[in-house]
Every structure is written in C-alpha cells, then in structure tokens.
Chains A and B, each alone.
With several copies, the nearest count.
Chain A
Amino acid sequence: MQIKPILSRLPALEVTPFGPAGPEGEYRFFALRLPRPSWKNWRPGQFLMLRPAAFGLELPWARPFSICHTTARCLICFFQVCGRGTRRMAQLKHGDEVNVWGPLGNGFAVEPDSQTLLLAGGMGIVPFVGYVNAHPKPWNTSMLFGHREPLKCYPVDNIHEYIPLDSLRETTPGELDNFIFTLNERMRDCAEQNGLVLACGPLPFLQTVRNFARELKARTQILLENTMACGVGACLGCMTRTSDAWPTPEKRGGLVQACRQGPVFWADQVKL
C-alpha cells in the first residue's frame, strides 16, 4: 500500500522560532507552516523533500524533513538550523515559494495494541509528533526524550497532550550516562512485554539503541537521517548497508536506499 508522492509549489505561511534566542539573538529551532498539499494520507516516519525557491542555483538540493504534523489545512515541519539550507529556511517570509515533494519513504510500524516505546534524541522527536497524534491507542505509547537544549526548543506540546513524556536534558557527561541507563531500563521493560521500540535521533544515539535492542531482543525500528540529494531513489547517495537479517536474500549485506527502503528500518536488519 504505497502512498503516491506529490510535488507541490507552496507559499510559506509562517516560520515560528522555538525556545530562547542565543547569545547573538539568533534562534536555532523553528516550525515551518505550509498549506497542506493535496496528499490523501501519510504515515508518521515518512518525510518530504523541501526546497525554498530562495535556494536559487546555489543550493541545488532540496532538504529532507520528517513530516511533523498535518491539520486539515496545514503541513508543519520542524527544523533546526545546522547549515546553509536550514539557515535560509529560517528566513522564509509569508508567501515565499517552497517546493515540496512527499510523502516519501516508509514510516514507522503502528501496532495499536503493543506497548510502544518512543525514543527520541534531539530533533529525532519530530516524526513522533505525528506518530502520537495518529496512534489509535495513544495510551499504549510512552516516550523517552533526550535533549541538549531547553525543552521549549522542541515541539513537545503536541506530544504531552496525548502521552507521558519523560525528558532528560543532557548538559554534562554524567547526565548522558543517566540517560543511557534509563534508555536501557525502558527498552528492557518494553522488550519484556514484547512491545515495539521506535527510535529517531543522531547516529550515536541510534547505535546505542541498536546495541540494546540486540542485547534485549527488543523489536526495534530506527529512522535513519542519511544525506539525501533526491529523496526519490535516483542519486544513490543515501545508501545503508543491510545485515544478514534483511528480508530479501539478494540484498543481504548489500546497500539499500534510505529514501525508499527506509528511512525507517528494523534495527537488526541494517548496519550502522
């Protein structure tokens, strides 16, 4: 049941900074609100490619972003400024043209009756906003969120509404150890009930999750944010190596596209 992606040319509605401004008055976290494209539906974990016309010829690539949230009339992305493209996105003004194609990729598993543990590191929280909203039985889900910046930098309100959210801020190495300890405990609990673990965040975080998943035999999916030039399967830039557990034999140990076979993978089926 593939969802057919659509390319839309949308006027930006609003870019809203989140959290406190930095020492030079600059914000780093933003919600971008766009008119909702004519998508029928989408699955949390899916992403879109986003390219403001302001990229001109200088930045030829669109940028991949998890779909954060949609309403009847709006599509919301949430992003952190981390380079040239996101810096320009932060400067979008009402009406500025943005090219968007999606929904792309495969999305997280939804098992309404399984206990579902959501593990987010930093910006990895974004796809879970939509996940929690779409989950038919949100009371079966819970979240552990590790982050470095103040909590109000992240789009947590929408999650808070539905499910319990444990957040741990990491500012010292000790706090990181503490987070990892909690992570392990929560994954253990979940695994014991044959629950589902879903994780999104930076690579080292996902590696830790993958290791615990292996150790604890926790059924775990991870969302990989590989570099992507096209998002549609053409550039072969977003490859991830599979493990021996990959379902189709001919691709075992081979390379698969994060933009098509992912970005969500079963943790045991890929190498990180």
Chain B
Amino acid sequence: MDISVTLRGQTHDLALKNPVLTASGTFGCGLEFAPYGDLKSLGGIVVKGISLLPREGNPCPRVVETAAGMLNAVGLQNDGVEDFCAHKLPSLPWRDTPIIANIYAASTDEFADLAARLNVEDGVAALEINVSCPNVAKGGVLFGQDPVLTAAVTSAVRKAAPRKHVMVKLSPNVTDIALMAKSAEDAGADSVSCINTLLGMAVDLRLRRPKLANVLGGLSGPAIKPVALRCVWQVARAVRIPVVGVGGIVNAHDALEFILAGAHAVQIGSGNFMRPDCAFTVAAQLPAACEKIGVKSMEELRGTLQNGSALQRKHPAMA
C-alpha cells in the first residue's frame, strides 16, 4: 500500500514516504535510535531543538513522569547549530529520509540568522519553528502565544531560508490556536505542526518542592492526546496548509485518528520513551492498520471525520 504523503506548502513541498515523523526533543539527533530500527524507514526525523549558540538548558531534575504522561523542562539544551551541521547531520541518512531541524531563538533576528545558516545545508529538508520558547526580548511572553509575534518569526524564517520547507510548531497554551495557525499561514508557513507541550507542574509533597528544578514544565504523552486531536481538528479547519499532528501518539491507531481529524502527517514524541522502536513500529504497522479500516491511502482518510450531530452509536447485531 502506498502511504506516502506530500506536505504541499505555499513555497516548498515536503515529500514523505510515510506520514510518521519523530517529534523534536524525544528522538535525540536520530542516531540514538539506530539500534532499534531503520532510520530510513521513517517518514522523517525532526531532530532536537537547535539554537544559534550552544545552550546548557535548565538544571536537573528536568523530567518527571505523570499519569499517562510526563513533564519536561529540558530548556533547550543543545550544542548549537555549528555542531549540528558539522557532527550530527553528516551521519544522518538525509538522502533517504527528510531531516527536519527544529529551531528556536530568543528574537526574530536570531531566528533569521539560524534559518539562514541552515538554509545552505543540503541535509536539512525543512525547518520547524518552535515558537513556544520564551521570548527573552519581550518579557516572558511566548512568540507562540501572540499572533503578531508568530507571524513575525514565521516571515523572518521564511525569508531567511528560501530553499526550505517551513513548518511552524504551535503551542496549545493559548485561547485560540486556530488564530495562531492562520497567522503562521498568512506569514508564509508551508505547514504547521501541533501541538507542543501543555504547561504543567508537579510537586514533591515530602520535600515541599517542585519536582522540576524549573518549577514549570511541558506535559506530553497519552494524557494530552484528546487536547492534541482537538487542536489538529480546529487548525485543519482554519488553514489550507498541511497540519502535522503531535501529542500522545503511541501506535498506528492513534496516528490514523489524527489523520482522520485532518492531519497530513504525525510526530511520535514521548512514545519513543515507552519503547525505543515506537516510531518505527507505527510506520511499519500503518499499512495494516489502514487495511483494517478499509482505507487505501492517506488522502482517502484525511479529514473525513463526519459531523457529530448525526451520531448514533452502532452496535454489532449480536455478539
């Protein structure tokens, strides 16, 4: 079965042999997972967030498990874009699998510099803009929580990286995610991915301390799947560019739910921690899962969710 998809952007398309990508920050630079599956079998690899200069990130503890999910406050630790281009990218199978660089910066200008740097790397197929990082310049507001800032960052990256597909990763911590998506679309984004983590917190009752050194962290995993699905559905109805679904996907069934809700592709995040072959398995099992529901291509399923108003539960006649 052909489960390839193309993310048809406003400027650049991104062709994927299957709709299963890995989510940034949960799959290292990719090579960490090579022992558990064939990286070339993935639709694409979104590498962990990259900044212009190396960043140490937040102090530990940075991760904590929660009911059907986890919180993280890694805080953008990475060795910077030069290290990525020199040491990581060359080892990745970028000729066979699109490598998507997840980027963040503290200002629009810095975003542009970073995008320009990656624009010249043949190994990078697309840029995913992480607009959920703190905008240091604007006093703690996040780029992704303001439609004007979202547009500014998107168009800066769009201009600085004319050779690349530009994907904007949306934050769910907003009153109206569709508004942010439209802003990104209007500013030239080729696609949007949603969602990044939900802002959360955990405390240690005995020590009377937050469980994360950073106090606040991002919630991910199966717990947030209903929120992610809702965001994908809202965004897919609001924009014409493709939507990539992220949030709580751990198997092929989950992935197809997102496609049904309107996603063109999906990303596997925390699922990679449940089993390091999670993303590989989702990609491998997708054809069989499609067959089971009588679907022959991704287009046939995508966004075909029927209206709920006519809902009536169907039961098997007799069991």
Contact = CB atoms under 8 A, between A and B. Distances in A.
Nearest to B250: A57
Contacts of A101: 36, 275-276
A60 B222 contact: yes
26 contacts: A51-B275, A57-B221, A57-B250, A59-B65, A60-B69, A60-B221, A60-B274, A80-B319, A147-B318, A148-B318, A149-B319, A170-B317, A201-B318, A202-B317, A202-B319, A203-B313, A229-B65, A230-B272, A232-B28, A233-B28, A235-B63, A235-B72, A235-B74, A236-B77, A239-B60, A254-B56
A6 interface: yes
Nearest to A176: B317
A146 B318 contact: yes
Interface in A204-237: 204-205, 226-227, 229-230, 232-237
Given A57-B67, A233-B28, A255 B273 contact: no
A59 B277 CA distance: 17
A229 B72 CA distance: 10
A178 B60 CA distance: 33
Nearest to A28: B319
A255 B56 contact: yes
A237 B63 contact: yes
Contact of B72 (A99, A123, A237): A237
A239 B56 CA distance: 11
Given A60-B222, A237-B61, A239-B60, 7 more contacts: A57-B67, A58-B67, A82-B319, A101-B36, A230-B276, A254-B56, A255-B57
B87 to A, nearest CB: 11
Contacts of B222: 57, 60
A112 to B, nearest CB: 29
A230 B35 CA distance: 14
Contacts of B319: 80, 82, 121-123, 148-149, 202
Interface residues of A, number: 42
Contacts of A232: 28, 32-33, 35-36, 276
Given A232-B28, A255-B57, A61 B77 contact: no
Nearest to A82: B319
Given A60-B68, A101-B36, A237-B61, A203 B315 contact: yes
A61 B36 contact: no
B26 A7 contact: no
Interface residues of B, number: 41
B270 interface: yes
A202 B315 contact: yes
A197 interface: no
B62 interface: yes
Interface in B262-279: 270-277
A87 interface: no
- Max chain A CB contacts within 10 Å: which of B60, B67, B277? B60
B139 interface: no
Nearest to A148: B318
A160 interface: no
A59 B61 CA distance: 18
B233 interface: no
A170 B28 CA distance: 42
Interface in B56-99: 56-57, 60-65, 67-70, 72, 74, 77
B276 A7 contact: yes
Nearest to A204: B317
Interface in B27-41: 27-28, 32-33, 35-36
- Max chain B CB contacts within 10 Å: which of A6, A99, A230? A230
Contacts of A203: 313, 315
Interface string B278-319: 000000000000000000000000000000000001011111
Given A60-B221, A122-B318, A236 B74 contact: yes
- Max chain B CB contacts within 10 Å: which of A80, A99, A205, A232? A232
A239 B67 CA distance: 23
A234 B318 contact: no
Given A148-B318, A205-B318, A51 B274 contact: yes
A101 B280 CA distance: 15
- Max chain B CB contacts within 10 Å: which of A4, A58, A60, A234? A60
Interface string A40-77: 00000000000100000111111000000000000000
B32 A234 contact: yes
Contacts of B36: 5, 7, 101, 232
A202 B74 contact: no
A60 B70 contact: yes
B274 A234 contact: no
B62 A58 contact: no
Given A60-B68, A99-B275, A255-B57, A237 B74 contact: yes
Contacts of A58: 67-68
